[in-house]
Structure 1
Amino acid sequence: MSTSNQIETQEAQAGLSRRRFLKGATAVAAGAFVFGFSFPMSKSALAAAAGQSEVNAWVVVQPDETVLIRIARIEMGQGALTGLAQLVAEELECDWDKVRFELVKPGVNRQRDNVWRTQSTGGSRAIRESHEYVRMGGAAARMMLVEAAARQWGVAAGECSVAKGVISHRPSGRTITYGAVAEAANAITPPSNVTLKDPAHWTIAGKPVKRIDTLDKLDGSLVYGVDFTLPDMLIAVPKACPVHGGKLRRFDAAAVAQMPGVKQVLRVDDETVAVVADTFWRAKKALEALPIEWDEGANATVSSDTIAQMLHEGLSADTPYVGNRVGDAKTRLAGAAKVIEADYSFPYQNHAQMETLCATVRWTTERCEMWGPTQVPEAALNTLATAAGLSLDACEIHTTRIGGSFGRRLATDYVRMAVLIAKQLPGVPVKMMWTREEDMAQGRFHPVTQCRMRAALDEQGNVEALHVRISGQSITAYAIPGAMTDNGDPHVFQGLMPEGDMAIGYSVPNLLVDHAMRNPHIRPGFWRGVNLNQNALYMECFIDELAHAAGQDPLVFRRKLMAKHPLHLAVLEAAAKGIGWDTPTAPGVFRGIAQVKGFGSYVAAAAEVSVTGGKLTIHRIVAATDPGHVVNPQQVEAQIAGSFVYGLSPMLYSQCTVKDGRIEQQNFHTYNVMRLADMPKVEVITVPSGGFWGGVGEPTIAVAAPAVLNAIFAATGKRIRNIPIKPADLQA
């Protein structure tokens, strides 16, 4: 993961200029070219092997007019595959009904000098960080196809136009299809200047076109990693020490060796044992029967209570890590006549994706291949090669689509484990599959944090000073320690930064946001929405507390703080208008509101709830979002509705607790998630203002809980500062 994320950071810092991109596109090798990077191979082996006519790295046009668009980013249900294809197809001017897709393998990307750039997919980056160069790839392919037709006719390319993959020569009325000139287009020198279409003129992008990955889901032909099979394949089911940091002491393989289907019982590493059998069920049953002795170590005494005590100490401790500082908040708070203070907390969360971790690996002394899902193909390939003891050229990952991930497959621990198992069975394809219980126990958990909010109000109810102290775990310190800065973990301050993708959106004359890093032994990871989730809850619920203390309407109070932040304010106003903030509610129904900027987008939510006899009903949520540009309105709406499921589940039910050093929750019967009956009506308002590209899948997760919690306060007069909600919290 570290390699992939560092590449992403370097690319973001360096940027991708159109000049640099087009300069790289001039490379020609034996009649073929790679758009954006030099390509040492003669003709694309990928295209040539299939008898395809590659125009450039992104576009292959087949003789039957099928347009194959290559997608390098990972599809895990969020719709990036369709959105990226729309952007290419828009500039290509092809027929959307004839578009198909092909997923790029990381080894092929590497062999072609990373022409598709990074494949890492997370942080709502798939479209917002690759929109320009994929559009340029489509536009260049169109220009080359037109040039090929013009040469065939002996006319000027400027006299030609194209619509839905048909090139027309305007003066003569002649026409020809993309498929007829695709092979000739491949030999055309790429254009030195590419002009992208104004989004106002989009006909494919920006429209709710059908997804191109739906049919194979409906007819059952889609093969996820967990479905993948090869001839003579065996199944391995692993189990690691349930206490993170513990070791595998010994196990009795003879006790299960004669059980049906069992092939081998293996020591995988210092922490893990695995049973290999001919079916998953037989391997699982043998693993359950296997006598195992663990050395759980000192962490076996840790509990949720001891972790909470550690974090609570951090709320008042000195810390060198500052994420945002304006003026002198500590001095102003020390001399203030009225100080409002509140402590909040957010528990561990599991990704709980439906497809548990899995990977099929075949290892020999000459080559190692993996078939399976990953969010970071480049990093996974590095992990595969390192564990296999082979060069990168001798390894490949055949990426599959993912049955849910939410950040869990940003880590590559399971790839390493699958290879270590396969190495003990040379030449035999082995599919490693984690049980649900193992997936829950060995997760990379959303970090646990506490937060102390302190604010000074003047006599008019204006915020004079605000101190946000976060105490808790650092994902970066664990997962990518090289990305730590002098100010600690930048991810900790998401939504609280002075500017950028995670800006705070409020103007306070004296502001301090800092972090007391406290790292329990539970392994943290990038859980969908990351630290924006709890930071928005802390800030938006506390802003409501300040509005109440000032005797002001929560929307009016926010407007004053957001006067210099028009894009933040615009989505807040849109959500308020959509919910009817200034109109009466139905009897017993109360409203709450929240806003944040995350992953480059401005988002807000307004909720309507009722609390009757201690029972909460969330009737309706209006979500407003400004992602700059909307590539597929239907997908945006689906992503936002889905994000509320992910944002409300921790508030209502989900938490991971620690006892005797291990995670207590083992499956969905103890790790509850939001069900269909709990789901409110969600109304999505998009207000794309243009000029930037923001994410969609994650930002609105963060405003779900605070909007509802603020509405609960309006209904009950009680502040809920620790989630999930307990029955006593809902008693008026």
Structure 2
Amino acid sequence: MLKRRTFLLGGVGVAGALVIGWSALPPRQRLVTSEPMPVRPGEAALNGYVKIAADNTVTVVMCRTEMGQGVHTGLAMLIAEELDANWDDIRVANAPLDDIYNNIESVAGDLPFRPDNDGVVKEAVVWLTRKLARDFGTVMTGGSSSINDLWLPMREAGACARTMLIAAAAGRWDVRAADCRIEKGMVVHDAGHKAAFGQLAMAASRQPLPRKPVLKDPEKFQLIGKPITRIDAASKLNGSAVFGIDVVPDGLLYASIVMCPTHGGTVAHFDASAAAALAGVRKIFAVDAYNGGTGGVAVVAENMFIAMKAIDALTINWNDGPMKGLTVPDIDKRLTQALDESEGHAWYSHGDVDGALKRAAHTLKAEYRAPYLAHAALEPVNCTAQVKDGKATVWAATQVPAVARMHVARVLGIGTEQVDLQQQMPGGAFGRRLEVDFIAQAVAIAREAEGRPVQTLWTRQQDMRHDFYRPACVSRFHAGLDEQGRLIAWHNASVSQSIVAGWLARNYRIPDLGLNFDKTVSEGAFDQPYEMPNVWIGQRTIQLPMPVGFWRSVGHSHQAFFIESFIDELAALARKDPVVFRASMLTKHPRHLAVLQKVASMSGWRMPAVWTAKDVRHARGVALHEAFGSVVGQVAQVSLQKDGTVKVEHVYCAIDCGLPVNPNLIRQQVEGAIVFGLSAAFKEEITLKDGAVVQGLYSEYDVVRMDECPDITVEIMPSKSHPQGVGETAVPPVAPAVANALCALTGTRDYALPLKHKLYVGGATCAS
């Protein structure tokens, strides 16, 4: 008999050989679904992304959630470009759940490498990660990754469909395929033959899928790079667009819910007698906590008004969650103490920082803070579900449909094949719809409705107070300059909760082991381009009961404020212009330098840093940041009004996001991101009272209004490189650019967000 050790070693050896062999294979295709694509009568599927109907309409199958970022338009342009389709014939439809739609680049983008780390190790790990994500990842919208991830697959899908249509036409006309071409939705031949897509679709679908489709030369692009109007614009203007909250299946009931004020709590006892007496109330019951959420009491009624009124009539005793008694000062103290004890994992180090600090002519220390933030999307959390005959239909606005379906099945104890998850548009998300707590909860409520569909809608207060928040963070710096004012030492350590650990624990049941290894909370700190001879950048993660999640631009959102503010402090210590000081550390990064110089030129940076006009003092501040593959530079022009309020008059922004697929979409996203970032910079902060979130309405968690908006000027840098992220990239530089202008203006540095200045009401509306 084989000894157990020999057997195990042999097994490991075989497994290792299999893994090595598997990793050596080329990446699997991303064009054909594992199951046949569903089609309507008269419609043919040419691959997993393209369907063509007899009326010549081309349906682009969308595997990413349209959350207002315009991704359906951008992705449709990739198909239409390679297919040479008529843009007016393009339609979109949601994709089924299949591995070919897994978001590969979002996973690869979370690997712990700096953008300018181009070593063999990184190349090998990225290669292997992409292969794993193809089969073991998930369908997900986030990380500003949609165009980046689907740039090649969707172009290849369009090119394959073009080749198959031409082959079908050539076979019909008995001519060479090389002598045929497509012109705006028609296959034509010089002999006078002509056929529309709809006439050829069925025959084309029977053609073999080309193994290596020939992609267009970018010099011949007709759509890509053009400011095409959004494909969803008309429906949003005329009100026909359907969001999650708009779903109204036949026989619909409505549910409202109130959850324990302290996160993670449950129901101890409740008195529903007064609520049950209200006309139209169907059922009242306790609901468990799902996927990191909080327990509560739900009311199912004939309409939402009755359900909400009944909620107010309930008397509930709670089993408080683990946050009972917790306050923001408590959390801040624990963060500070944790950083005193350990600086955590070193994400990037180079040279001898301690030695450089000892010989530095000038040194500077600083400590920065950022608060918890809610997502506060305009459409409050909601989900509609029907549980009937051992199956479930779920209408959900989600960024992770496959994860949502898995947990619906888990709640009901059925197979995922018994769950029909119908993707809806969310009215804003910003990362909140990466969670599935509200979907699992809605299904558990619908299970009690005896087969009728139920829409569960949270009030604004419940939405704000039961979020998964952007983590609070503390960051410390210690830097040194030489006699010439050059930066020779940079030491930076920050501390916050881990986002990834919590997300994996509540959605994949992977235990949070408290490891100091979460790239998403350190991103924006260790991965910036500045050239420093001696550097150490680390991050510590700690466990706290406050639930945290992915928030628009994630770690970049606060790390950029810390770093770009401290860079300005060092420029002042060196008595150098902030733009010149940054440029001196970008000698090997021409792309970043070009963005910095562009935004400086746009803003007229050569003017004095502070000036007075009509008795009002003005100043400019600059920030440069790389996130999600894109480089963004911003200059904020700020004034101090006579009444002491601050007016952000103008924000100039230059962005290099690779090849600009649709300049309109880019400008829209950049403008929206700047306003979003200004809201976080000046107004937004989640606080706690006795462990419960205080903020509940927009009046308590305010956002920048139209009359507070600055003018916004956006310049998109020309590029032929692979397209990169846009939706989140312009958020991080806003706060530091404004803070740097305010410091120049007032002589006082802000070391914490939100900035302690009141915005002047009466600014201009956004204009590009």
TM-score scaled by length of structure 1: 0.91
Q: Distance in 2 between matches of 1:297 and 1:419?
A: 23
CA deviation profile, 1:271-304 (whole Å, cap 9, x unmatched): 2211111111111111111000012155221101
AA aligned to 2:622 is: I
CA contact 2:646–2:757 (8 Å) conserved in 1: no
Q: Assess, with a 3 A threshold, how the Cα gap between structure 1 residues 251 and 376 changes in structure 2: closer, same or farther.
A: same
Q: Assess, with a 3 A threshold, how the Cα gap between structure 1 residues 119 and 728 changes in structure 2: closer, same or farther.
A: closer
1:678 aligns with 2:708: yes
Q: Which runs of 5+ in 2 are unaligned?
A: 1-20, 103-132, 290-294, 761-768
Give the aligned partner of residue 630 of structure 2: 601
CA deviation profile, 1:595-630 (whole Å, cap 9, x unmatched): 011011111101111112321111111111111111
Residue 688 of structure 1 and its aligned partner are, at CA, apart by 3.5
Give the aligned partner of residue 766 of structure 2: none
1:615 aligns with 2:645: yes
CA contact 2:256–2:307 (8 Å) conserved in 1: yes
2:385 match: secondary structure: strand
State which of 177, 199, 205 in structure 2 corresponds to 1:186.
Answer: 205
Give the aligned partner of residue 599 of structure 2: 575
CA contact 1:601–1:625 (8 Å) conserved in 2: yes
Q: Assess, with a 3 A threshold, how the Cα gap between structure 1 residues 435 and 351 changes in structure 2: closer, same or farther.
A: same
CA contact 1:73–1:120 (8 Å) conserved in 2: yes
Residue 192 of structure 1 and its aligned partner are, at CA, apart by 2.3
Q: Which runs of 5+ in 1 are unaligned?
A: 1-13, 25-34, 498-502
Greater shift after overlay, 330-339 or 211-220? 330-339
Residue 488 of structure 1 and its aligned partner are, at CA, apart by 1.1
Q: How does 1:101-112 map to 2 (within 5 A)?
A: 101-106=92-97
AA aligned to 2:728 is: E
1:54 aligns with 2:45: yes
State which of 64, 68, 91 in structure 2 corresponds to 1:77.
Answer: 68
TM-score scaled by length of structure 2: 0.87
CA contact 1:322–1:487 (8 Å) conserved in 2: no
1:61 match: secondary structure: strand
1:167 match: secondary structure: strand
Residue 519 of structure 1 and its aligned partner are, at CA, apart by 3.1
Give the aligned partner of residue 225 of structure 1: 244
CA contact 1:640–1:700 (8 Å) conserved in 2: yes
Give the aligned partner of residue 743 of structure 2: 713
Greater shift after overlay, 463-472 or 513-522? 513-522
Q: How does 1:201-350 map to 2 (within 5 A)?
A: 201-269=220-288, 271-297=295-321, 299-334=323-358, 336-350=360-374
Q: Distance in 2 between matches of 1:166 and 1:566?
A: 44
CA RMSD, Structure 1 to Structure 2 (Å)? 2.5
State which of 649, 669, 681 in structure 1 corresponds to 2:699.
Answer: 669
1:374 aligns with 2:364: no
1:267 match: secondary structure: strand
CA contact 1:87–1:135 (8 Å) conserved in 2: yes
Give the aligned partner of residue 592 of structure 1: 621
State which of 87, 108, 112 in structure 1 corresponds to 2:78.
Answer: 87
1:516 aligns with 2:552: no
Give the aligned partner of residue 493 of structure 1: 522
Greater shift after overlay, 540-549 or 676-685? 676-685
CA deviation profile, 1:154-204 (whole Å, cap 9, x unmatched): 00100011110111112x122111111111000001112212112232111
Q: Distance in 2 between matches of 1:729 and 1:178?
A: 56
CA contact 2:522–2:555 (8 Å) conserved in 1: yes
Q: State the identity %.
A: 35
Q: Distance in 2 between matches of 1:398 and 1:306?
A: 42
Q: Assess, with a 3 A threshold, how the Cα gap between structure 1 residues 441 and 729 changes in structure 2: closer, same or farther.
A: closer
Give the aligned partner of residue 29 of structure 1: none
Q: Distance in 1 between matches of 2:199 and 2:178?
A: 19
2:720 match: secondary structure: coil
CA deviation profile, 1:108-150 (whole Å, cap 9, x unmatched): 9899x99999531011011111111011000000000000000
Give the aligned partner of residue 149 of structure 2: 129
State which of 27, 31, 35 in structure 2 corresponds to 1:36.
Answer: 31
Q: Assess, with a 3 A threshold, how the Cα gap between structure 1 residues 38 and 257 changes in structure 2: closer, same or farther.
A: closer
CA contact 1:465–1:508 (8 Å) conserved in 2: yes
Q: Distance in 2 between matches of 1:16 and 1:571?
A: 38
Give the aligned partner of residue 120 of structure 2: none
Residue 107 of structure 1 and its aligned partner are, at CA, apart by 7.3
CA contact 2:244–2:425 (8 Å) conserved in 1: yes
Q: Assess, with a 3 A threshold, how the Cα gap between structure 1 residues 104 and 597 changes in structure 2: closer, same or farther.
A: same
AA aligned to 1:707 is: A
CA contact 1:57–1:115 (8 Å) conserved in 2: no
2:684 match: secondary structure: coil
Q: Distance in 2 between matches of 1:701 and 1:640?
A: 8
Q: Distance in 2 between matches of 1:36 and 1:565?
A: 36
Q: Distance in 1 between matches of 2:212 and 2:517?
A: 42
Give the aligned partner of residue 415 of structure 2: 391
Q: Assess, with a 3 A threshold, how the Cα gap between structure 1 residues 40 and 397 changes in structure 2: closer, same or farther.
A: closer
Greater shift after overlay, 584-593 or 145-154? 584-593
CA contact 2:322–2:545 (8 Å) conserved in 1: no
1:561 match: secondary structure: coil
Residue 91 of structure 1 and its aligned partner are, at CA, apart by 0.3
Q: Assess, with a 3 A threshold, how the Cα gap between structure 1 residues 191 and 685 changes in structure 2: closer, same or farther.
A: same
AA aligned to 1:60 is: K
Q: Distance in 2 between matches of 1:625 and 1:673?
A: 24
CA contact 1:107–1:381 (8 Å) conserved in 2: no
CA contact 1:106–1:396 (8 Å) conserved in 2: no
CA contact 1:625–1:688 (8 Å) conserved in 2: no
1:387 match: secondary structure: helix
State which of 638, 641, 659 in structure 2 corresponds to 1:629.
Answer: 659
CA contact 1:362–1:426 (8 Å) conserved in 2: no
CA contact 1:484–1:490 (8 Å) conserved in 2: no
Greater shift after overlay, 315-324 or 523-532? 315-324
Q: Assess, with a 3 A threshold, how the Cα gap between structure 1 residues 472 and 649 changes in structure 2: closer, same or farther.
A: same
Give the aligned partner of residue 163 of structure 1: 183
Q: Distance in 2 between matches of 1:116 and 1:52?
A: 31
State which of 425, 432, 437 in structure 2 corresponds to 1:408.
Answer: 432
Q: Assess, with a 3 A threshold, how the Cα gap between structure 1 residues 18 and 593 changes in structure 2: closer, same or farther.
A: farther
AA aligned to 1:679 is: C
CA contact 1:359–1:415 (8 Å) conserved in 2: yes
1:467 match: secondary structure: strand
CA deviation profile, 1:332-363 (whole Å, cap 9, x unmatched): 33554532011111111110001111111111
Q: Distance in 1 between matches of 2:400 and 2:603?
A: 39
